[in-house]
Chain A
Amino acid sequence: MEWGTKIGIFFACSTLPLYISGLVPACVKVEDIQEYWRLSPAEFSAKAGTPIGPGVWISALGQSDNLAALPVLFFCVLPIVAYGAMFPGTIKSRDRLYALFMLAEIALIILAFIGFV
C-alpha cells in the first residue's frame, strides 16, 4: 500500500501536467473548466457532451483529463490488492469468518466499481 500510494502520486504528478499543458486533447479544455466546475456532474456531462457512468472513463483514457484521473483511480484499487495479499494467510490459518469478511469487502468494492451498488 505504501509503494502503491507513492506510485500513484508519481503518476498523478506526471499526467496532470499533460492535461494542463493541452499537449494531449481533453474532453474539456483546461481553459474552459471554469464554466463547468460549478455545475453538477450531470449538468457537466450534458453541457460538455461527455458520457458518465461505470467504466465510461476507461474508454476515454485517450483524453488527457481522464488520463489525469487514472492515478487517483489506482488508489481505489489498492485496498483490494491489500486484502488480496492477506487473504491466503487467512485461509491458511483457517480463519474462515475473517476470510469471509475480506471476500465480502472485496466483492463490495468491485460492485461499487462496476456501478452495481
Chain B
Amino acid sequence: MTKLIQTIVDGLGVGSTYALLALGISLIFGVMHLVNFAHGELITVGAYTSYFFFLHGGSWWWMPIAIIGSAVLASVATELIAFRWVRNSSPFTLLLTSFALERLSHAFWQIAVSPKQRAFPKPAWVFNQFKIASVSFEVMDVVTIVVTALTLLLTAVIFKRTLFGISVRGAAEDFDAARLMGVRANRVISGAFAFAGVLAGVAATLILMRSPAAEPSMGSDWLLKAVIAAVIGGLGSFSGAVIGGLVLGLLETLTRAYLPEVAVGWDKFSTAIVFVLIAVFFVVRPDGIFRVSHAERV
C-alpha cells in the first residue's frame, strides 16, 4: 500500500511535467496544425540560461523567472523566424521545419557551449523527504504536483475567461471563422507560442530543479513523451493533453515499480512495455481519448 501511494505520487510528478509540455504541443497544433518537434528545445534553452546565470552568481530564488522568460522568448522567436513563413504550407512542411529547428538547436549548443553535460547547483531542499502516516514523500514531488496544478488552473481560467483564451480556442476550432470575428492571425498564433513557452518554462523549471544540468539533446526525450501524451489525449484537445500526460506518467512509474523482478535489469523494459500499451491503445482508439471532430481539417 505504501509502495503504491509513493508510486502514484511519483507518477503524478512525472506525469504533470508531461502534461505541461503536452498542453503546449496541443495548443500549437490547435492554432496551426503543427506538431512542434522543436517544443522540447525550450527546456534546453531554459537549462543553458540557468547554467549561464549560475556561472555569474545565479540563485534559485529568481531562476524560475529567467527559465520561463527564456522559454517564452525562444518560443515566440521560433514562430517569428521560422514557422510564420511556412504557415500556409502543408502539414508535412511544418513538421519538417520543426525537425530542422530541433536539430539546429542541438548543433547550436554543441558548438556554442559543449557537447558535454554542464551541471549547476540544485536547490538544497529538492531531495528532502517528509512522512505522513509512515508514507514518505519527496518534497520535489509535492512541489511539482502543486505547481503544475496551479499552472493548469490559471491556464483554465485564462482559456475560459479572457478574450485571448477564447480567441485561441475559437482559432483552434475554425481559424478562418476566427479571422472573420476580427481575430488577428499573427497575434493569436504569437500568443499561443508565448503561452506554450510559459508552460514549457514551468516544466523546464521543475525538471531542472531535480536534475540541474544542461545538455544539447536533453529536450528530445521529454519531447517524445510529451507528443505521445498529447496524441493519447487527442491532438488539439487541451484537457486531453493534460490527462494524457498524467496517464503516461502513471503508466511509466507503475510498470517500473511492479514489473516482476525475474532478472536484474527487467525494469529497463518498462519503457518498452509503455510503448506497446500505447500501440495497442491506438489500435483500439486511434483518435485519442478525446475525439476532436475538427482535427482532420488542415
Q: Do A and B come from one complex?
A: no
